[in-house]
A and B are shown apart, each in its own frame.
Chain A
Amino acid sequence: ETGVTQSPTHLIKTRGQQVTLRCSSQSGHNTVSWYQQALGQGPQFIFQYYREEENGRGNFPPRFSGLQFPNYSSELNVNALELDDSALYLCASSQGPLSYNSPLHFGNGTRLTVT
């Protein structure tokens, strides 16, 4: 069984640039959620993708967008980067958007630094 993998592991970008982060879901999982974790904070829900469509969104501006592909992998895109976007971005997969009683499986995250 392949776990959740994220790439790249680290990334440094300049304010105003755009970034794409990638996530491969665990085998058999069709739902991907993205979280942002600022230093010293708990993760904050960004959005979730199911059947290649956004299926719920947290309190993040439209410059945060995503995609899900037919193989259930996903991308997180952030445009017009701001210093406050510096964080650990975590991807989690599950067997469906309503799999309440199965734990989400998280990747090791992408550390984004915006200078």
Chain B
Amino acid sequence: KQEVTQIPAALSVPEGENLVLNCSFTDSAIYNLQWFRQDPGKGLTSLLLIQSSQREQTSGRLNASLDKSSGRSTLYIAASQPGDSATYLCAVILTGGGNKLTFGTGTQLKVEL
């Protein structure tokens, strides 16, 4: 059974810091890994999708890497801003599992002025 773990569970940083969120998964037979953002009480917004054949994806100040063999992904946020405050979730799609997502429990990020 695929298990997805995110560390840390919560993180508080001052504005302007660069930060790294971690995601690990137990089964390396994945099609892709996705990072989502969730604001309180809201749905999920897709940030980045890394296909299993890729090593990283970038969008603006966000960079996500994937090491399938070690079962790890990181989300790097550069020059953090208060507007980045949210919960960040990673999720994987298993090979042969349709496009069903298995999620981690998330990292709650607070960027302070």
Mark A residues whose CB is within 8 Å of B: 4, 6, 31, 33, 35, 40-45, 48, 55-56, 58, 88, 90, 92, 94, 97-109, 111
Contact = CB atoms under 8 A, between A and B. Distances in A.
Interface residue range, chain B: 20 to 34
16 contacts: A42-B4, A42-B89, A43-B91, A45-B100, A48-B98, A58-B100, A88-B41, A100-B93, A101-B31, A101-B49, A103-B49, A104-B34, A105-B46, A106-B45, A106-B46, A108-B42
Interface of B: 4, 31-32, 34, 36, 41-46, 49, 51, 89, 91, 93, 97-106
Given A100-B32, A106-B43, A107-B43, A42 B98 contact: no
Contact of A42 (B34, B49, B104): B104
A101 B33 CA distance: 9
B41 A56 contact: no
A94 B100 CA distance: 11
A5 to B, nearest CB: 10
